[in-house]
Amino acid sequence: MPSAVSVHQLYRRLETVGKGAYGSVHKGVEIATGNVVALKIINLDTEDDDVGDIQREVALLTQLRDAPNITHYYGCFLDGPRVWIVMEYAQGGSVRTLMKACKDGVVEEKYVSVIIREVLAALSYLHKSSIIHRDLKAANVLVTGAGKVMLCDFGVSALLVTASSKRNTLVGTPHWMAPEVAQGSAYDTKADIWSLGIVIYEMVKGSAPNSHMMDQAKLIQMLPRMKPPRLIEGEGSKEMREFVAHCLRESPNDRLTADELLKTKWIKNVAKVPVTILKDLILRYDTWTQGGGTRASIADSLPWEQEEQREYVGPDLALIVH
């Protein structure tokens, strides 16, 4: 239950860094300690108000306090018609944002493998806790200034009551959506594994498969009938291409689990590579922004990507907070 103490006695709200479906996200400070936090302020009096959704998100976040590579949750407070969710302030860029500064808008494999290794650690924890993220994409993977990888945006995550239970609610971004989710069939943690494969494809190719298709309803209809995407020879190492194939299997049962994927050759090859290698991507992005931040080789954002940037990118370089 939200605490009875007034949130204004505990936290001070600073600048706004993002806006979402329910409300806004702000940089904030804990008055007693001076610690910087993220404050997600949700309006409960909106027309599409669904308090249940918010309460589920909060309950979910509470369970993830010790999860590796996940933005952490500190508390929840009622403030009149609003709920304040206090979270870890993760400064850095989403992988999607950092891709803009990469040559041709694609990430080199030496970085892709480390990012995926770190995302798998988060997914392994989530899936063992019977939680499906349900909206995995490069825009929801953050890299902090120290190179730490953080999985964020559990606004649409679902809590599985038991490991064997399946969901059949349509949630997620169509381009990253597993066929069984698009079909409206029951699905489980293997839906995240499909999305993980699409995230690799997105980093290596510069965009998700079918990114030219703007009609989301049409794409959802077509997804279950489409052949699973593949990376072809010349698009990264054989190990990476095989890894993607393990994720993008039509039948969820044929996809490897997060723990099995952690044991693949591609991930084992980077077992000892420190996350600090990812600081290169942040540095590259900072240099690119300082130089004007535009490059002819990078295609203009699609309308839905622009929408995403408005939601994820704050005024401070590539500040992404959830």
In a domain, 319, yes or no: no
In a domain, 170, yes or no: yes
CB-CB contact of 102 with 289 (8 Å): no
In a domain, 317, yes or no: no
Distance CA 3, CA 297 (A): 51
Residues 137 and 186 in one domain: yes
**Which residues lie closer than 8 Å to 248 by C-beta, 6 or more apart?**
194, 197, 198, 201, 228, 229, 230, 255
Looking up residue 138, the CATH number of its domain turns out to be: 1.10.510.10
Domain residue limits at 242: 93-312
Looking up residue 45, the CATH number of its domain turns out to be: 3.30.200.20
Two tokens, residue 11: 């936290």
pLDDT digits (tens, 9 = 90+) for 89-146: 877 788 999 999 999 999 999 999 999 999 999 999 999 988 888 889 998 899 988 9
Residues 99 and 201 in one domain: yes
The number of CA neighbours under 13 Å toward the Cβ of 141 is 29
Q: What tens-digit pLDDT sequence spans the chain (322 residues)? A: 555 678 999 999 999 887 766 678 889 999 999 999 989 888 776 555 566 666 676 777 777 777 899 888 787 888 888 888 888 887 778 899 999 999 999 999 999 999 999 999 999 999 998 888 888 999 889 998 899 999 886 544 444 433 345 555 555 578 888 888 888 888 899 999 999 999 999 999 999 988 877 777 888 888 888 889 999 999 999 999 999 999 999 999 999 999 999 999 999 999 999 999 999 999 999 999 998 876 433 444 554 445 444 443 333 333 333 3
| Bridge-based pairing state of the strands 23-30 and 11-19 | antiparallel
Residues 146 and 179 in one domain: yes
Distance CA 260, CA 255 (A): 10
| Bridge-based pairing state of the strands 23-30 and 92-94 | unpaired
**Which residues lie closer than 8 Å to 218 by C-beta, 6 or more apart?**
none
Residues 82 and 102 in one domain: no
| Phi-psi category of residue 80: left, alpha or beta, with phi > 0 → left and psi -120 to 50 → alpha | left
In a domain, 322, yes or no: no
In a domain, 58, yes or no: yes
- Amino acid at the residue 111: Y
Residues 50 and 160 in one domain: no
State which of 57, 88, 119 marks the end of a domain.
88
State the pLDDT at residue 244.
97
Distance CA 149, CA 274 (A): 11
- Count of the separate structural domains present in the chain: 2
State which of 62, 88, 114 marks the end of a domain.
88
State which of 22, 56, 88 marks the end of a domain.
88
Catalytic residues: 135
Residues 189 and 214 in one domain: yes
In a domain, 318, yes or no: no
Q: What is the pTM of this model?
A: 0.79
Residues 143 and 23 in one domain: no
In a domain, 49, yes or no: yes
Q: Between helices 190-205 and 109-128, what is the axis angle to 10°?
A: 170
Residues 178 and 157 in one domain: yes
| Bridge-based pairing state of the strands 131-132 and 82-88 | unpaired
In a domain, 220, yes or no: yes
For residue 3, give the DSSP letter. B
Residues 273 and 131 in one domain: yes
Residues 201 and 152 in one domain: yes
| Residue whose structure tokens are 């000892």 | 272
279 is in an annotated binding site: no
Residues 301 and 193 in one domain: yes
**Which residues lie closer than 8 Å to 251 by C-beta, 6 or more apart?**
none
Residues 51 and 130 in one domain: no
